[in-house]
Structure formats: C-alpha cells, structure tokens
Amino acid sequence: MSSLISVNNLTRRYGDFCAVNNISFELAAGDILGFLGPNGAGKSSTMQMLTGNLAPTFGEITINGVDLLEHPKAAKKSLGYLPEVPPLYKEMTVYEYLLYCARLHAISKQQLNKVCDSAIERCGLGDVRQRLIRNLSKGFQQRVGIAQAILHSPPVIILDEPTVGLDPIQILEIRKLIKTLGESHGIILCTHILPEVQAVCSRVQIINCGELVYSADIADLLNQQSNRYELALSSTISQDDIAKHDVINSVETLDNSRLLIDSNLTAEKLIEYIVQQQWGLTHFNQHQPSLEQTFIALTTGDKSINKDLEVTQS
C-alpha cells in the first residue's frame, strides 16, 4: 500500500527538554493507527507537528508525497484534522458552519452544496443539519467536527481524543463512524482510551518519554504466542515444588488461585509433562497480554509483562 504519511527522525526540543526524540513511522492507505502514550509522553507535540501547527527541531514529515516543511499549504490539502476541542462556531447551524469550512478549503461554488451534503450524510447529521450547533449534544458536536475534517476528501484524517466526554452510546456511534472512514482514508487516532484503540484500530504505536517504544498490528498483538501459561491443578502440590522442575522457569499465583507458569516448552509439550506428573490439570490457557498490559509494561517498566512482548515489539 502507498504511504500517506512518512515521518523520519522527528524531534522536538523545548530548550533542554526533549519532548519528541527521533521518531519515525508511516501511515498507509486503509490504516487506522492508534497513537498511545501517557500524559507528557509527547503525543500532543507529535500531533501538532504532523498538522503543521508546530515546527520540529529537526526531522522530516511527508504527507501524500509532499514535504510538509517545504510546502506546508500543499501538504495540508491532503490533511483533515479534528483537535481535542472541535473548532466549532456554535452560533451557526450545522449546514452554515460546513459551508463556511468548505469555503476556507477553497472548494468551488459549484461543489459547495455537494461536498457539504456528502459530509453530512457520512457523519449521520441529516436530522440536525439546520439546527444551531450550540443546541446539539456533545456527540453530535463531535460528528460536526469530524464532518469539517473530511469536507475536502483528504487522504489523511487525524483525530485527537474524538470520544472524550461522550456517553457510551455516543462513543459506539463515533467508533463506528471512524471504522467506516478508515475504509477510504488513512486515520491517526490519538487517544488514551485503550479499549477504543482495540475496537477500531488496525495498528497501534506507543510513545513514552518522547520515544516510540512499541509498534504492531492489532491482530499480531491479540494473536501473539507466549511462553507463559495460566493453569489450575486439582492436586495440592505446592508452588515451590512446581518451581523445582527444570522445565519450569517461574511460577506465580494469580488472584483467582490459578498459577501462571513460565516455561520454554510449547503448550502441547507442557500439557503432556503436567499429565505425566499427575498434577491433575483442570484448566490450561496460553497467557496473552492485553493492550492494557502492554501499555503498562512499556510505560512503567513492568518486566514480568515485558516477557510476553518480545515477539511483537518492533
């Protein structure tokens, strides 16, 4: 797939403080990239640089083949952006606002009504198109914000915390909209809501202390193989006695009284070994870290979880 965004060695310093440190990544057509990080990790600085609102200290940003630093106006034509606080004029109706935004994008008079109608339809705003924006729920205001971001049919859409403050029904509706948009655009979703990334994104990247510390496909993350196994035994063998066996690297007891065993054996071989020892195996499951565990491990340095990440971390 063609690259819509290419970021190379992007760095941003504020005096002696390095907010973003030499990060590189790409966004392809059809990608929905979840960009994660704790507060102060460098997410906002990265998004501001990608949208041309903040100059990098050094590094390169190419949007749809155009260098953002050398040709900012041309590059931004391929970009749609929804900041965390949507840039709405709430005294306008939905349709008036979108017409205004379309004119800012220099859309021809002949195309104004067509592009506004298309954005309204795609964002499910048909029933509120003539209502004042200030009278809309926050969910509908977010939809209006997304509509202005896609008016000019940009190949790239950047969404910064698009579901903050929404109720559960509104969140589901916005997530559905993002997935639909992802079929025809490349999307970067900047958020700290981990279930949101797992629900809508095809790829995930985690930034911590200004550095890109993790990058993987969501499918790879969810299907990764691990050498840690969660199991339950009917016998009364102690944890210490289990740990004495050479095939067992470590044993710990989980909250549900099940055991978490680290072993270099495959799942099949470990099951066979346990059966031979007559420990009374009643439950066996390969332990797979969730996105939440991955995030905590990489942003707090939890080494016990990091064991499971070696396969997918890149």
Write the CATH number for 270: 3.30.70
pLDDT value at position 225?
58
Identify whether residues 248 and 205 lie together within a single domain.
Answer: no
Residue 279 lies in a domain: yes
Identify whether residues 246 and 171 lie together within a single domain.
Answer: no
CA distances 80 to 166, 194, 267, 292, Å, are 21, 23, 47, 29
Q: How far is CA 2 from the centre of its chain?
A: 20
User: How do the pLDDT tens digits run along the chain, 314 residues long?
Assistant: 568 999 999 999 999 999 999 999 999 989 999 999 888 889 989 999 999 999 999 999 999 999 999 999 999 999 999 988 889 999 999 999 999 999 999 999 999 999 999 999 989 999 999 999 999 999 999 999 999 999 999 999 999 888 887 888 888 888 998 999 899 899 999 988 888 888 899 999 999 999 999 888 887 776 665 678 889 999 888 889 999 999 999 998 887 778 889 888 888 999 999 999 999 999 998 776 667 777 787 777 654 444 444 434 44
Identify whether residues 252 and 137 lie together within a single domain.
Answer: no
Identify whether residues 234 and 154 lie together within a single domain.
Answer: no
pLDDT value at position 288?
67
Two structure tokens written together for 99: 């017409």
Q: What is the CATH number of the domain that holds 39?
A: 3.40.50.300
Identify whether residues 126 and 272 lie together within a single domain.
Answer: no
Distance of alpha carbon 144 from alpha carbon 94, whole angstroms: 7
Closest CA relative to residue 163, chosen from 121, 208, 124, 200: 200
Domain count of the fold of the chain: 2
* Backbone conformation region of residue 124, classed left if phi is above 0, alpha if psi is from -120 to 50, else beta: left
Reported pTM: 0.77
Identify whether residues 199 and 261 lie together within a single domain.
Answer: no
Domain ranges, residue 40: 3-222
Identify whether residues 142 and 173 lie together within a single domain.
Answer: yes
Residue 266 lies in a domain: yes
pLDDT value at position 226?
67
Out of 173, 189, 222, pick the residue that ends a domain.
222
Identify whether residues 101 and 207 lie together within a single domain.
Answer: yes
Residues 6+ apart with CB under 8 A from 77: 152, 154
Identify whether residues 77 and 215 lie together within a single domain.
Answer: yes
Residue 282 lies in a domain: yes
Identify whether residues 55 and 141 lie together within a single domain.
Answer: yes
Q: 22, 11 in Cβ contact below 8 A?
A: yes
Closest CA relative to residue 285, chosen from 230, 244, 236: 230
